[in-house]
Amino acid sequence: MNIESIEAINGISYNQLQPKAAISGSGFDAIIQQINSLDQQYKTAESSALKMASGEIENLHQVMQQIDKASRNLNLAIQVRNKCIEGLQEIMRLQV
């Protein structure tokens, strides 16, 4: 009877045990980026309104466009948030 020697088992390497970083371009990062963009639009619109009030800007149309764009984007963000909340509530109502 021929008995072979015991060899090491190739298991999981140390690198495979390391936790993975958050996936780049994940949905959460995109949401944060859009919120920052929305905040910047509101700051720009507010700055333009203050400049117009002080007389630095005379183009009312441009200021109103910036304010309208910021307002529409905020309303869109609110609608998306509401749909996400509705979806989460629907998931919570599911019976397991």
pTM for the model: 0.62
Show the DSSP H helices in 2-95 as ranges: 14-17, 27-54, 60-93
CA 51 to chain centre: 31
List per-block mean pLDDT (blocks of 10 residues) for the chain, which spans 96 residues. Answer: 70 58 67 90 93 89 92 93 95 87
In total, the chain counts a number of residues equal to 96
pLDDT at 59: 87
E strands, the chain, are none
- CB 57 within 8 Å of CB 66: no
pLDDT at 13: 59
pLDDT at 75: 94
| DSSP 3-state of 95 | coil
- CB 48 within 8 Å of CB 66: yes
